[in-house]
With several copies, the nearest count.
Chain A
Amino acid sequence: MITLLYFAWVREQIGTDAETLALPAGITTVANLLDWLASQSPGHAAALADRSRIRVAVDQTFARGETPITGAAEIAIFPPVTGG
């Protein structure tokens, strides 16, 4: 099981701030995860439509598309941070 966290307009478009789920086999990178998530609901699809506007942290560390997620406990998906 993995916990997904959503922030800002990603959260609003998906409609929840967190969900815990089991990933299907073959989902081993951040890019795999985003592709699979986008197929889960129209909200997920809308939120993830433009990947250039999506940033990801795996276990609270900024990650890239090729970052492995096997064994991760918490993955956060959000827009580019805007700072303070």
Chain B
Amino acid sequence: MISAHLQAEPFDLAAEQAALVGSHTDLGAVVSFTGLVRADDGLIALTLEHYPAMTLAQMQAIAADAAARWPGVLGRIIHRHGRLLPGAPIVFVLTASPHRADAFAAAEYLMDWLKTKAPFWKREEWADGSTRWVEAKASDDTAKDRWTA
């Protein structure tokens, strides 16, 4: 079971990990990924726009897909939306499994999707007052393609 969450609020790494592991005693490996808004030179803020009816459904679909590929993996993915400042946490993936290889593989798979295919659009605000919509990156498409080839 891998759950998906879409929210404006920040998330609490330690609380999420404690909740996921819970009373499961067969888990030997827990992997977390936290994505932060990078303070690229002069970046003031990043705003994530999403498609309310579709974005969470797509996140739930990839979570179900990953759970089917790695049946022993428990996990959760969280993505924030709205206006975020540099340094803020923006995306979170947590996976747990008996052994480390599956936990790492599932976390990387989910992150490749979240970074490239999740229905978000990002608008950057710069110190000079300009704004810019981030373009989709070809390099991220390539990382995702490793899994579909």
Contacts and interface: CB of A to CB of B under 8 A. Distances in A.
CB atoms of A and B under 8 A apart anywhere in the complex? yes
Interface of A: 5, 7-9, 57, 60, 74, 76, 78-84
Nearest to A61: B54
A9 B133 contact: yes
Interface of B: 35, 48-49, 51, 53-54, 57, 79, 90-91, 113-123, 133-137, 140
Given A5-B51, A7-B51, A9-B133, A83 B57 contact: no
B53 A60 contact: yes
For the residues of B in contact with A, the DSSP-based class is mixed
Contacts of B137: 82
Contacts of A78: 51, 119, 121
Contacts of B134: 82
Contacts of A60: 51, 53-54, 57
Contact of A7 (B49, B79, B114, B115): B49
B54 A81 contact: no
Q: Which of B49, B119, B133, B140 has the most CB of A within 10 A?
A: B119
A82 B54 contact: no
Contact of A84 (B48, B57, B133): B48
A84 B51 contact: no
Q: Report the 3 A-B pairs with minimum CB-CB distance, sorted nearest first.
A: A8-B121, A80-B136, A84-B91
A84 B54 contact: no
A84 B120 contact: yes
A78 B137 CA distance: 16
A82 B136 contact: yes
Contacts of A84: 35, 48, 79, 90-91, 114-115, 118, 120
Given A57-B51, A84-B118, A8 B123 contact: yes
Contact of B54 (A9, A76, A79, A80): A76
B53 A83 contact: no
B117 A83 contact: yes
A84 B48 CA distance: 8
Nearest to B79: A84
23 contacts: A7-B51, A8-B49, A8-B121, A8-B123, A8-B133, A60-B53, A60-B54, A60-B57, A76-B54, A78-B51, A78-B119, A79-B121, A80-B136, A81-B117, A81-B118, A81-B120, A81-B136, A83-B117, A83-B118, A83-B120, A84-B79, A84-B114, A84-B120
